Chain A
């Protein structure tokens, strides 16, 4: 398993699907462990009853069918597919409606889904999974330096356990997977791809509402992850390029930094 996880951290995120499927074939006895530790690219399916798209993942899968959060039905139809309790389903419906608004405000598009299920461990708590898939391929409209092809996928899994004093323990594990390609004639193709995963836990008052608590944690986490991808991860690859071929004079870097600074000011 250790070797498998090390490989996943080395192989290009653009090839993670092939890599994962190779590992599953190689390590059939570790398949559930692999699937829980390696996040797969998200797929989208149409809920024909509600005419709305939903996101497919391990968490809404039963046998070969996937449950839509909108109609609550399995596609393709499944006789006795597992369902959340009526109370949890109510929270799930709300979460889907609100998360769709959140998604639209940050992503200006994309598809989101929220799935909830009772926690098997003690029956007290529950787990919620918030998913976003944004395909940015058409966003650039062929303009220079704008996105030619790109996708952002966010997977947030929150485990909620009731605590004493009207509090609950929220443990959030978030993964962001993204790929961006810009392409134009004189400068060729430029692709950055990546995946990062982080975990955070908080004890929060239940009176504020589970959705409010989970939502705030997700929003903060997404902001942090986006920031580290932008500033740290992309920055490190850029640093590497400049190490390979240092810009000829110091003032080249300075110009770039000043420009960057001005850009940040403008935001």
Chain B
């Protein structure tokens, strides 16, 4: 960018370019740090109106991508900001409480809630499955993620009113921890899509897990780990389905956690060593004291015309 021919150094950026840069920084903020990034971006842009439009576009994208969890007023629990629950730009469904939360994306707060309408909720038949999976999953999430929140949405076929048709559920698990005083933030996000296939009498399971961590005391080190997996189970009663599906999710997530641990365990002796060894191949520190000798020798060699 800086090397382009028309010399950006001599030319003011257009408003549109500035806005794009502001949006890029906001959208690429690490988990839990968008407010800090926003403060910096605002100072750099030095144009509150321009910043405002950039923030209005970037924050919703960030909040949805990071599955930000917001507390709903009246102690009715948390709502997860995700594309699955999105009714419009600032309204998100919480299927568990059958409420629609209005959120302020930039402030990252939930301002009010209203009961969801019938059109926004799924049919009684689908709701039986959704509710069963949600309840079972809730137990797992509470036991596994100290800061975790979860939600189960119907993403397709919410009007299916009995056996004989397909529908999809989406499971979202979001756990994040911010600890700015310790210069450390991180999040675990998983999205599981459950396809209930009536003709095959099966449920196809697809999972995407992303784990990120940022440590930035006198430095900047980030972990970004992702995985995808698939599985399936047979279509049974809602309660049996819920138990089977939760156990599949639990199994894959535990397995993934173990593979993360394994990756960390192997860092020092394999991965990291491939980049730079702890000690030289000679297993002793480099003989710098001989370098003086080395250069003297070279001078001598030159004087006597030996070597090259």
Contacts and interface: CB of A to CB of B under 8 A. Distances in A.
A65 interface: no
A152 B275 CA distance: 6
Given A9-B216, A209-B295, A212-B288, A240 B184 contact: yes
Contacts of B33: 10
Contact of A180 (B17, B25, B220, B275): B275
Contacts of A124: none
Contacts of A18: 24
- Most chain A CB inside 10 Å of its own CB: which residue of B209, B229, B256, B271: B271
Interface in A237-255: 237-241, 243-248, 252
A171 interface: no
Q: Provide the main secondary structure of the chain A interface.
A: helix
B214 interface: yes
Nearest to B1: A21
Interface residues of B, number: 91
Interface in A74-106: 94, 98, 101-102, 105-106
Contacts of B306: none
Contacts of B264: 234, 238
B87 interface: no
A145 B270 contact: yes
Contacts of A15: 28
A240 B185 contact: yes
A240 B221 contact: no
B140 to A, nearest CB: 11
A42 interface: no
Contacts of B145: 244-245
Interface stretch (B39-47, B78-86, B99-107, B232-240): B39-47
Contacts of A146: 266, 270-271, 274
Given A22-B21, A186-B259, A196 B271 contact: no
Contacts of A263: 265, 268-269
Contact of B220 (A13, A150, A247, A259): A13
B281 interface: yes
A243 B289 contact: no
A208 interface: yes
B29 A10 contact: yes
Contacts of A41: none
Given A237-B214, A241-B223, A108 B177 contact: no
A200 to B, nearest CB: 14
Interface in B132-147: 144-147
Interface in B27-55: 28-30, 33, 36-37, 39-41, 43-45
Interface stretch (A48-56, A115-123, A155-163, A215-223): A215-223
Contacts of A21: 1-2
Contacts of A24: 1-2, 8-9
Nearest to B188: A244
Interface in B272-286: 272, 274-282, 285-286
A94 B271 contact: no
Given A98-B291, A212-B289, A260-B265, A25 B213 contact: no
Contact of B24 (A22, A150, A238): A22
B187 interface: yes
B262 to A, nearest CB: 7
B44 A27 contact: yes
Nearest to B146: A246
Contact of B267 (A98, A107, A234): A234
A119 B245 CA distance: 68
A191 B225 contact: yes
Interface string A191-213: 11111111000000000110110
A188 B208 CA distance: 10
Given A259-B265, A263-B268, A237 B17 contact: no
B200 interface: no
A180 B272 contact: yes
A18 to B, nearest CB: 7
B276 A26 contact: no
B292 A13 contact: no
A45 interface: no
B223 A10 contact: no
A63 interface: no
Contacts of A107: 275-277
Contacts of A94: 291, 294-295, 298
B213 A105 contact: no
Q: Which of A4, A8, A107, A244 has the most chain B CB atoms closer than 10 A to its own CB? A: A244
Q: Which 10 A-B pairs have the closest CB atoms?
A: A188-B227, A194-B221, A105-B280, A196-B219, A187-B259, A139-B274, A240-B186, A3-B40, A237-B213, A236-B215
17 contacts: A13-B221, A25-B1, A25-B13, A94-B291, A105-B282, A108-B281, A147-B271, A186-B255, A188-B228, A194-B221, A195-B219, A226-B272, A243-B177, A244-B145, A244-B177, A245-B253, A247-B257
